[in-house]
Amino acid sequence: MELKGALCYVLDFDDIYNYAHQTAAKIKESDFQPEVIVGIARGGWIHARIQCDLLGVKELFSVKIDHWGVTATKDGKAKLTCPLTGDVTGKKVLVVDDITDTGESLTMAVEHVKECGPAEVRSATLMHIAGSKFVPDFYGVEVTWAWEIFPWNFYEDLTALIKKIFEGEKVNELSTMEVKKHLREYNNVVLSDEQLSKIKAHMGYLEVIQYPLDKAWKLKE
């Protein structure tokens, strides 16, 4: 069946730790032993902290790259909005993100860190999308393009996907069964009733749909 939208995969923390261990194993097998890890906010923060644990690194800094794109699209422009938070002068630095996608965020972050006087800079991600403009030095798995829904942006991404369903179906009200059906048709996403209930409450909190909630999902007028 041809999807009406972009193919999406929902990842859980077991997936994340599996990919992080694969990434760390490759780093340990190399000749590179980082002294500092720099996580790219927002997506790279959790992976960066996990790599600190797996690699025994105490120094953890951050840069923030805003990627002005839309959920489940390949487009978007990167912009450095918060420079490096710590001193990396003369140190071996590992720049960490969750996924390469277009590669713009990692390219910008690595170039920025190199300007801050480190001895060496390498990069790592959980996942690398084949064809990305930037290939990290280390990554857990290589995949073809799909929109990866990480645990740390689950509600953000599902809210955006469901809003697209309303737009695509040209309606302002859907039942839970219709939302579930359309998520399969549009994005190959299958969710439990409990997950949908939490997403619905979140969208009500954000005033995307009408609140207090009733049985239907109604766009807020």
Residues 88 and 117: beta-carbon distance below 8 Å? yes
pLDDT at position 1 over 90 = no
pLDDT in tens, 26-45: 999 998 999 999 999 999 99
pLDDT at 2: 92
CATH of 13-145 among 3.40.50.150, 3.40.190.10, 3.40.50.2020, 1.10.10.60: 3.40.50.2020
CATH node for 151-218? 1.10.10
Helices and strands (DSSP H and E) totals, the chain: 6, 10
Mean of the per-residue pLDDT values of the chain: 93
d(CA 207, CA 219): 8
Q: Which long-range contacts (CB under 8 A, 24 or more apart) does 45-49 make?
A: 45/152, 46/16, 46/98, 46/152, 47/16, 47/20, 47/96, 47/97, 47/98, 47/124, 47/125, 47/126, 48/96
Helix (H) or strand (E) holding 149: strand 147-149
In the chain, what percentage of residues exceed pLDDT 90? 84
In the beta sheet, which residues pair with residue 65?
80
d(CA 103, CA 107): 6
Extents of the domains making up the chain = 13-145, 151-218
pLDDT in tens, 48-73: 999 999 999 999 999 998 876 555 55
